[in-house]
Amino acid sequence: MKLYFSRNPNPRLAVAVARYLNAELEFEFASPRAPGQADRYRSLNPNLLLPVLECSGKPLWEADAIACRLSRDARSDFWRTGDEEPEMIRWVSWGKENFVRACDIVHFERGTKQRYKIGPVDPVKVSEGLNQFHEAAEILDAELSTRAWLVGDTISFADFRMATILPFNDAALLPIGDYPFLYRWYQQLEGMEAWSNPFQGLSAPELPPIAAAFP
């Protein structure tokens, strides 16, 4: 199997999952939307987005699906099954629609737009994203005040998915320190090599630097 990836949030998530699970696969840095690259990757993912897992049968795209496949291959409970699976899916779904989305709104303005020079920071969007962040962070902080991880007593994919944008907080500057239990939870993730440094040993060009100041 081969995982096509980049350093952007969802591909990074897939690489971190593969590294956490010690998945036996190849890693290949890719840029499907770069000039002249579309024809090569369209058969793998018609959306021309990453990550993509090339495996026997039909290629698999979308980070959550790839995490499920790799966890099953590893026979790991990282992707929960049985009685805890609905709880895990609840947090994956809620996270993507609330916490992750809020983080991404802010990161897009302060990070993505500045890296790729696609326009000035929109302070209205930043304010909207921060308001949504605080609403979701309050809920997470309360939940995490009673346990170390989102599902059961051990880490699951729900934790990785919820934290998708936080490795880019040097750009987004989200105030996670205002929420002690959320902060403690994320420090646990940062203490894991697979999460904090998933590209170790891989050929993966760095993201463009951010030079602009922003509100």
CATH number for the domain including 156?
1.20.1050.10
Model pLDDT for residues 200-209, shown as the tens digit of each residue = 999 999 999 9
**Contact between 189 and 161 (Cβ < 8 Å):** no
Cα dihedral angle (205, 207, 211, 213), rounded to 10 degrees? -170
**Domain boundary at 55, 74, 93, which?**
74
Distance CA 111, CA 9 (A): 12
What is the per-residue pLDDT across 41-85, written as a single tens digit (0 to 9) for each? 999 999 999 999 999 879 999 999 999 999 999 999 999 999 999
Mean pLDDT of the chain: 96
- Bond prior to 86 in cis (omega within 30° of 0): no
Look up tokens 């403690």; give the residue: 184
Q: What percent of the chain has pLDDT over 90?
A: 95
| pLDDT for residue 166 is more than 80 | yes
| Percent of the chain with pLDDT strictly greater than 70 | 98
Kindly state whether residue 202 falls inside one of the protein's structural domains.
no
- pLDDT band at residue 138 using 50, 70 and 90 as cut-offs: very high
Mean pLDDT of 179-206: 97
Closest CA to 20 of 182, 189, 210: 189
User: Looking at residue 214, what is its pLDDT?
Assistant: 57
Q: What is the pLDDT of residue 57?
A: 79
Helix/strand/coil for 6: coil
Same domain (yes/no): 37, 17: yes
Task: Give the residue from 31, 58, 74 where a domain finishes.
Answer: 74
Q: How many CB atoms lie within 10 A of CB 31?
A: 13
DSSP type of residue 108: I
Q: Is 13 found in the same domain as 30? A: yes
Residue length, the chain? 215
Q: Is residue 124 part of a domain?
A: yes
pLDDT at 28 over 60: yes
Residue 211 has pLDDT above 60, yes or no: yes
SS (H, E, C) 66-101: HHHHHHHHHCCCCCCCHHHHHHHHHHHHHHHHCHHH
Q: Is the pLDDT of residue 106 over 90?
A: yes
The token pair at 64 is 């959550």
For residue 103, pLDDT over 90 is answered with yes
Cα 71 to Cα 40, 53, 65, 68, 214, distances in angstroms: 28, 13, 10, 5, 39
Is 201 inside any structural domain?
Answer: no
Q: In terms of residue numbers, what domain contains 50?
A: 2-74
Whether residue 211 lies inside any domain: the answer is no
Residue range 179-194: mean pLDDT, rounded: 98
Please give the tally of structural domains in the chain.
2
Both 56 and 131 in a single domain? no
